[in-house]
């Protein structure tokens, strides 16, 4: 019998798991995919909102602000990339300035600190590359950017090392309330791999959260998958944009953001299109045309020719446009983390901490005296060289694999790739390696390095190279006649 089962290993589910591991109990995360961070959490803007946009009094506003404040300390404790770069919301005409004033007023009500409306001259000082159209901006110095892969993996690893179990390739098929001979209530969680019993269920299933909720509650909710297209620019554009730059909705329509990433790229997006397919992450030429046009309102010469990839992500838009959190009234022991769309990434740590606390209170769980809230991040030779120019030379002498570069674009060594596989909850696929150490994330998009990474994966996992997948399931890279030809 588990004390709690968390359904979904995105950033919300993994944050809940990390904070829940601070209590004594038996906990499990169930994920339908082969790894953490494979759904909404892997394809988003990677920004930490300051909190001025969410409606005052909403759960979005409350958890956004708290989560934003938690990120700097968590990044230090758990060893993931985060940067406080601030954000700007552009007024593209004089008619837009009252909208900035309204955003500022709402942000102050929400508790956001340091908000300031800046004129054109100050805007150019803050963002020298800004185009000729913007006339003013709302400046939010507390906003930031993060690596969503790194943060999710950090929460998951820390939860795992504190005793949380993870079951991958485990899709939940049903949920049934039960009662034992002593009158104690529990849940039976049915999966494709069998059933388990648990005292509590935490629903963090992203775009599928309404399906699970509606299995157990008479008060139905409805989530619409909202697709957003993005364009990622090469690291050669690093420094072109300093802040996360939004556009206030106005006569040009609802704008898109342009932002640096913590790894030195530039990201442009997203579009917003409601769809029915909960796996519909295909990209569209219309979406990219829309992105390029709207980005041009903010910047005159944004280097879009430096695009290295495009992708689409899904947001879990609930009809009431607010988070749905906490124990479901007519399903005791079932806790929702549903409708987690933007600012969900920003809010995830706060949601995780509070839901874990609610579950612990419900189950009367004691504090875990052996809980270790710190985690050592991935070894990065480039960062080590900044601190000590001779560090890498010493490391290579001791471990030559750190001197053999596999991914040329991102300068990722064989040693780093092996680390990604050997870590707690280590990589089992090409995308798993990419999310952990960025091998294959650069300009050639793994065109050069994937065969070597596959060889390393096969060796480390003890499988045939033909069994290596791009992202688990049936996504084998070598299939059919190709496997026969290589013998």
CATH number of the domain that residue 107 is part of: 3.30.9.10
Tens digit of each residue's pLDDT (9 = 90 or more) over 27-63? 999 999 999 999 999 999 999 999 999 999 999 999 9
Share of the chain above pLDDT 70, in %: 97
pLDDT confidence of residue 2: 98
Confidence of residue 250 (pLDDT cuts 50, 70, 90): low
pLDDT confidence of residue 481: 41
Q: Of 353, 377, 401, which residue is a domain's last?
A: 377
Same domain membership, residue 168 and residue 71:
yes
Confidence of residue 395 (pLDDT cuts 50, 70, 90): confident
| pLDDT beyond 80 at 483 | no
| pLDDT beyond 80 at 214 | yes
Confidence of residue 252 (pLDDT cuts 50, 70, 90): low
| pLDDT beyond 50 at 114 | yes
DSSP character for 439?
Answer: T
From CA 260, how far away is CA 46, in angstroms rounded? 9
Tens digit of each residue's pLDDT (9 = 90 or more) over 154-168? 999 999 999 999 999
Residue 144: enclosing H or E segment and its boundaries? strand 144-146
Same domain membership, residue 111 and residue 35:
no
> Residue 199 belongs to a domain with what CATH number?
3.50.50.60
From CA 1, how far away is CA 17, in angstroms rounded? 17
Confidence of residue 478 (pLDDT cuts 50, 70, 90): confident
Q: How many CB atoms lie within 10 A of CB 117?
A: 17
| pLDDT beyond 90 at 394 | no
Whole-number average pLDDT of the chain: 94
Same domain membership, residue 453 and residue 360:
no
Please give the C-alpha separations between residue 187 and each of 331, 340, 346, in angstroms, as whole numbers: 10, 24, 31
Least confident of 84-88, 193-197, 398-402: 398-402
Q: How many CB atoms lie within 10 A of CB 263?
A: 16
Same domain membership, residue 151 and residue 32:
yes
| pLDDT beyond 90 at 265 | yes
Q: Of 277, 295, 315, which residue is a domain's last?
A: 315
Tell me if the bond preceding 343 is cis, omega within 30° of 0: yes
Tens digit of each residue's pLDDT (9 = 90 or more) over 442-473? 999 998 999 999 999 999 999 999 999 999 99
Structural domain count, the chain: 3
Q: Which domain holds residue 65?
A: 1-83+145-222+319-377
Same domain membership, residue 23 and residue 152:
yes
State pTM to two decimals.
0.95
Q: Which residues contact 240 (CB under 8 A, 6 or more apart)?
A: 129, 260, 266, 302, 303
pLDDT confidence of residue 487: 46
Same domain membership, residue 78 and residue 91:
no
Same domain membership, residue 71 and residue 56:
yes
Q: What residues are labeled active site?
A: 49
Share of the chain above pLDDT 90, in %: 89
User: What does the pLDDT average to over 253-258?
Assistant: 79
| pLDDT beyond 50 at 295 | yes
Q: Of 360, 377, 394, which residue is a domain's last?
A: 377
Nearest to 177 by CA among 163, 166, 189, 165: 189
From CA 430, how far away is CA 34, in angstroms rounded? 11
Same domain membership, residue 302 and residue 235:
yes
Same domain membership, residue 179 and residue 123:
no
User: What does the pLDDT average to over 12-37?
Assistant: 98
Strands (E), 147-208: 165-167, 172-179, 185-191, 194-203
Least confident of 98-112, 260-274, 389-403, 422-436: 389-403
Same domain membership, residue 69 and residue 8:
yes
Tens digit of each residue's pLDDT (9 = 90 or more) over 427-450? 999 999 999 999 999 999 998 999
Same domain membership, residue 152 and residue 95:
no
From CA 313, how far away is CA 230, in angstroms rounded? 8
Q: Taking CA 295 as the corner, what is the angle to CA 292 and CA 301, rounded to the nearest 5 degrees?
A: 90
DSSP character for 93?
Answer: S
484 vs 346 pLDDT, higher one: 346
Least confident of 72-86, 152-166, 219-233, 467-481: 467-481
Same domain membership, residue 104 and residue 198:
no
DSSP 3-62: EEEEE--SHHHHHHHHHHTTBSS-EEEE-SSSSSS-SGGGSS--EE--SSSSPTTSHHHH
Confidence of residue 251 (pLDDT cuts 50, 70, 90): low
């Amino acid at each position: 019998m588990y004390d709690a089962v968390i359904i979904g290993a995105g950033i919300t589910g993994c944050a809940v798991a990390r904070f829940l591991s601070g209590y004594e109990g038996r906990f499990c995360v169930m994920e339908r995919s082969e790894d953490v961070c494979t759904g909404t959490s892997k394809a988003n803007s990677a920004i930490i909102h300051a909190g001025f946009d969410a409606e005052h009094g909403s759960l979005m506003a409350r958890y956004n602000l708290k989560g934003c404040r938690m990120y700097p300390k968590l990044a230090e404790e758990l060893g993931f990339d985060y940067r406080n770069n601030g954000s700007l919301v552009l007024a593209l005409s004089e008619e837009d300035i009252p909208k900035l004033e309204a955003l500022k007023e709402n942000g102050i009500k929400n508790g956001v600190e340091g908000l300031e409306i800046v004129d054109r001259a100050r805007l150019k000082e803050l963002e020298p590359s800004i185009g000729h159209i913007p006339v003013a901006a709302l400046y939010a110095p507390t906003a930031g950017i993060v690596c969503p892969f790194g943060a999710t993996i950090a929460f998951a690893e820390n939860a795992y090392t504190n005793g949380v179990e993870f079951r991958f390739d485990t899709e939940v098929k049903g949920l049934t309330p039960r009662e034992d001979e002593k009158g104690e209530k529990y849940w039976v969680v049915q999966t494709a791999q069998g059933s388990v019993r648990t005292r509590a269920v935490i629903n963090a299933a992203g775009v599928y959260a309404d399906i699970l909720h509606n299995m157990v509650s008479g008060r139905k909710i409805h989530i619409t998958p909202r697709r957003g297209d993005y364009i990622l620019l090469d690291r050669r554009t690093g420094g072109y944009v300093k802040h996360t730059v939004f556009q206030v909705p106005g006569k040009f329509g609802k704008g898109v953001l342009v932002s640096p990433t913590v790894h030195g790229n530039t990201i442009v997006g997203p579009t917003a299109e409601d769809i029915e397919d909960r796996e519909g992450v295909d990209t569209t030429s219309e979406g990219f045309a829309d992105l390029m046009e709207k980005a041009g309102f903010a910047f005159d010469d944004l280097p879009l020719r430096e695009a290295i990839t495009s992708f689409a992500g899904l947001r879990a838009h609930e009809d009431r446009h607010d988070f749905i959190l906490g124990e479901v009234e007519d399903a005791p022991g079932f806790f929702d983390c549903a409708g987690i769309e933007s600012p969900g990434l920003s809010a995830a740590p706060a949601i995780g901490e509070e839901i874990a606390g609610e579950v612990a209170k419900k189950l009367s769980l004691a504090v875990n005296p052996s809980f270790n809230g710190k985690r050592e991040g991935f070894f990065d030779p480039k960062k080590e060289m900044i601190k000590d120019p001779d560090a890498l030379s010493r490391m290579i002498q001791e471990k030559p694999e750190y001197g053999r570069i596999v991914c040329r674009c991102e300068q990722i060594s064989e040693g780093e790739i092996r680390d990604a596989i050997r870590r707690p909850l280590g990589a089992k696929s090409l995308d798993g390696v990419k999310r952990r150490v960025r091998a294959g994330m650069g300009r050639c998009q793994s065109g050069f390095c994937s065969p070597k990474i596959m060889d390393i994966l096969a060796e480390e996992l003890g499988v045939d190279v033909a069994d290596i997948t791009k992202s688990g399931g049936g996504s084998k890279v070598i299939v059919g006649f190709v496997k026969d030809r290589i013998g």
